[in-house]
Chain A
Amino acid sequence: MTDSKGPDSLTAEFERLLTPGRGKVYRAALRDGVIVALDRGLLGLAIVAGALLLLRLVLLGTGRGLEWGWAFDGWLLAAGLIVPVGVTFVRAMGRSPSSRETAERLDLALADHNRIATALWLLDRDRATPFARAAVRDGLAALGPCASASPYVDRVQSRWRRGAMLGALSVMLVIVAGLCGGLRPPLAADDTLVSARELGPSDRHPGGTLDRKRGDLERPRGEPPRTTHPHSAARADLARPAGPAAPTLNVPVAGRAGGGSRARARPTNQAASASGESTDASVTSQEGPSPESKRSRARRARESKVTGGERPSQQADGSAVSQGSAGGGLASPVTHDWAQRAQTAEGEDPEEEESTEEVEDEAESSSQRGGIQPSLKDRNEAPSRDQGISGDEGPPGTGRGGPTPPKKSRGTASLVLGVPIPDFVRGRAGPGMTKITHERVEPSPMPGDPSSAVDVRPRSLPEMPCRRFDVPAAFASVVRSYLVTLHSADRRPPDTGPSAPDQQPPQE
């Protein structure tokens, strides 16, 4: 057959004979594709339902309202179900099995030693050796009578139980999401109402705080800043906590509401609202308060005791907050950066001022402890006493190698003040001429004590000079079980080869 036909006609013959098998493979793949599509659709449905529930919970937690109803949820769930099903099914429809795949699956179904696939491969490669031609002929002969046989297909296990679980989970999630949709966030709703009532039409801008800042920049210089409602300032004073600043809850609606509503929602920014600088405060409210040490605050408290009602000028104009808040501004834990800018503008470096404060604090503490104490501020690490090459350069010894300062001497002599004692002495020990003398001495017997024989007794020392290691019981059992397992193969009879059970002697 192969000798009379060319490779093209043989390929066409193979294609013709493989057509029924290819159709069967395609239909089987399509059937499996439906199962896989449904499986993925249910999974997508569960994922969308879970995401919907999560979204509702997040929106409820952040105080936002839900602006869609069941119809939108239904569309989302339908999309979660239909899109994976459609994509998988379309992909399965568009995948046509190749001749090679069909041949391999036919070989598997017929168990014919890969004759068909090998023949097809040899035809594709255009192999012309005698064995290749014989193999092609062999493959064609194997395919001819079995062309209508069903090829081997990988049956996808229909996971109905998993699908049912996913479906039930989806329904449950949808119900829970619906229940969550019925809840309303109380704080967020009230806040929205208050802010909407207090805001004028010109303030209703979606830009939030940044837009307000831009509005301040566009305002003419002579125009005073917009004041807030006096009741809101009073509410801010009442709601102000005594401790340090609480974490800021950044809600844009509250930010639009200005001082009054913000003061009720966020007690941290009440000082700025009370001072009337609502716009600046709204800018700084996004930045965290700068840290301030307790000592500085204590020092300021002492200064305030000493100076009475007098206050530094920069504090006076920078802390208008405190003036307007009925005496509570001095203890305000919030430090605004505009106030810091004002202080910095006078030529003082904040870090330098802080270090000066620390020195003053130490001097004060020294005086309290009865005199001048060693300065603990610039204390250095003690030189390393490890042996090594000393030098004058380099940072203080850290024990990690490198050049170190001169080592301190050791011993009693080092206790004598003002006497430098080096660590080592250069030069040779005992320099000078060496004299060797020879002396001839006659050997003479030396008297010795005769040793007396003694009886050998059982020794009391242990048998071995080496100490025996006591293996823990658990480890000993592990080792024993390993060795038993290892040598259990030795007790087994050797492999008896291809012995059949029916030929074994009967057991009686």
Chain B
Amino acid sequence: MSKLKTQQGPDTANAAEQAARFRAVFERLKKEIHKIFVGHDELVGHVLSVLLSDGHVLLEGVPGLGKTLLAHTLASALQLDFSRIQFTPDLMPADIVGTMVLHEKEGGGHELRFEQGPLVANFILADEINRATPKTQSALLEAMQERQVSVSRRTIRLPEPFIVVATQNPIEQEGTYPLPEAQVDRFLVKLLVGYPQEREYHDILERTTGTELPSVEPVSSAEEVVAMRRVARSVEVSEQVRGYAIRLMMATQPGSAYAPAVINNAVALGSSPRGAQGLLLMAKVRALVDGRFAASCQDIRDVAPAVLRHRVLMSFEGQSDGVHPDDLIRAAISSVGELSS
């Protein structure tokens, strides 16, 4: 940990040593999370990849599957400044970014002081994000993209690392406000949290109903996360892999040269360039975790459903035919070839 912390950049150290260190921290984080959060190994890997790719996560699942627990556990394992914001319909932007509050001076009189909101933290858990109004949801836009919040004439830089883990419930849509496309596009991945396996239920019940509750030890820090993000960005991406990511992203856009027929029929709006950026960043982390120094087309394929599923806007025909975005991404993957020529 200390070695990575003192490095000025990846050029000054051996790449293999940095990659090994990266992999070790990654595995240790995953192991620590699994002390509390049972199962869903791929889901945890994706969340950690997003953390190290400098992105944000949108977790979607029915209640009771441990979405909030996963975010809370990750924050505890990282020793990060953690804020949990429960999004409700009456939540206002000032409630999360901060506002001016009237304070009484010691010598008499009053003054207005700025009280920063819970958004100024390293790790934000936006619970049930689709229950707040679009006005409040949009308050997150600047924080997620620019890493700053603006209140009145004051601009506050958010601390590094900054990650938003938002959760939403796919059912009970009455009284909710679906996230606007601009907001959804800010999330690097959208992960679907499913039910655990049968053997995982045994572990869950054993850990949560006994007398001794497991606890999470911090295995990393904010500085180390920032250093790991630098290492992840140093991973090489060849022109072939980059072209493959671009073609895959374009294949989700109806009317493009690479889009298969099912996408032309069922998709109204394809992925934005942020999709290709997300593919490469996630593929880099995946290559490092796999012990490689360059991303591959297989890495792109592995992360494509998580990165692209929320960037595909279904058309009326697609919705009426019951087409799932993951089916479309699989069709796009099968229609795009690896060879660059």
A interface vs B, CB < 8 Å?
98, 100-101, 104-105, 107-108, 111, 113-115, 117-119, 121-122, 127, 129-135, 138, 482, 485-486, 488-490, 494-500, 503-505
CA distance A133 to B16 in the complex (A): 10
Cβ of B335 within 8 Å of any chain A Cβ, yes or no, is no
Do A131 and B234 have beta carbons less than 8 Å apart? yes
Q: Mark B318-332, 1 if CB is under 8 A from A, else 0.
A: 011110000000000
Task: Please tell me which one of the listed residues B42, B170, B195 contacts residue A496 in the complex, with CB atoms under 8 A apart.
Answer: B195
User: Are B236 and A131 in contact, with the CB atoms below 8 A?
Assistant: yes
Question: 3 nearest interchain CB pairs?
Answer: A497-B194, A113-B296, A130-B15
> Complex formed: what's the CA distance from A496 to B235 in Å?
33
Given A104-B339, A130-B14, A131-B15; A497-B296 close (CB under 8 Å): no
How many residue pairs bridge A and B at CB < 8 Å? 123
B61 contacts A115, C-beta separation under 8 Å: no
B146 within 8 A of A: no
Query: What are the residues of chain B within 8 A of A135 when measuring CB–CB?
Result: 236, 292-294
Q: Are B293 and A104 closer than 8 Å at their CB atoms?
A: no
User: Is B340's beta carbon under 8 Å from chain A?
Assistant: yes
Contact segment of B29-37, B68-76, B90-98, B238-246 = B238-246
Q: By the criterion CB–CB under 8 Å, are A131 and B293 in contact?
A: yes
Q: List 20 A-B residue pairs with CB atoms under 8 Å apart, sorted by A's residue number.
A: A107-B338, A111-B298, A113-B294, A113-B297, A114-B238, A114-B298, A118-B238, A121-B239, A130-B13, A130-B234, A131-B234, A134-B15, A134-B19, A135-B292, A138-B292, A138-B294, A482-B320, A486-B319, A495-B192, A496-B195
A73 to chain B, nearest CB (A): 42
Nearest-neighbour CB distance to chain A for B8, whole angstroms, equals: 13
Verify B62–A134 contact, CB threshold 8 A. Answer: no
Within the complex, the shortest CB–CB distance from B223 to chain A, in Å, comes to 21
Q: How far is the CA of A297 from the CA of B290 in the complex (A)?
A: 98
Given contacts A485-B322, A490-B171, whether A131 and B10 have CB atoms under 8 Å apart is: yes
| B→A interface (CB under 8 Å) | 10-11, 13-16, 18-19, 39-40, 42-43, 61-62, 170-171, 192-199, 234-236, 238-241, 287, 290, 292-294, 296-299, 319-322, 338-341
Minimum distance in angstroms from B340 CB to a CB of chain A: 7
A499 in contact with B294 given A130-B10, A131-B235, A131-B236 (CB within 8 Å): no
Q: How far is the CB of A459 from chain B (nearest CB, A)?
A: 35
Q: Say whether B287 contacts A129, CB under 8 Å.
A: no
A108 interface neighbour in B235, B236, B338, Cβ under 8 Å: B338
Q: Please state if A114 and B339 are interface contacts (CB–CB under 8 Å).
A: no
Partner of B11, one of A114, A129, A488: A129
Nearest-CB distance from B24 to chain A (Å)? 17
The listed residue with most A CB atoms (<10 A of its CB), out of B11, B43, B170, B239, is: B239
A494 nearest in chain B by CB position: B62
Q: A114-B238, A133-B15, A134-B15 are in contact. Are A497 and B293 (CB under 8 A)?
A: no
Q: Which residues of A contact B197 (CB under 8 A)?
A: 499-500, 503
For B319, give the chain A residue with the smallest CB separation.
A486
A275 to B293, CA, bound (A): 99
Give the nearest-CB partner of B240 in chain A. Answer: A117
| Contact call A113/B298, Cβ cutoff below 8 A | yes
Cβ–Cβ < 8 Å partners of A104 in chain B:
240, 338-341
Residues of A within 8 A of B239 (CB): 121
A485 touches B294 (CB 8 A): no
User: A1 to nearest B CB, angstroms?
Assistant: 13
Given contacts A118-B236, A131-B235, A131-B293, contact A105 B195 (CB under 8 A): no
CB contact under 8 A between A118 and B241, given known A138-B292, A494-B194, A503-B199: yes
**Which B residues are CB-close (under 8 A) to A500?**
197
Contact of A495 (CB < 8 Å), options: B194, B234, B294: B194
Residues on A with beta carbons closer than 8 Å to the beta carbon of B238: 114, 117-118, 121-122
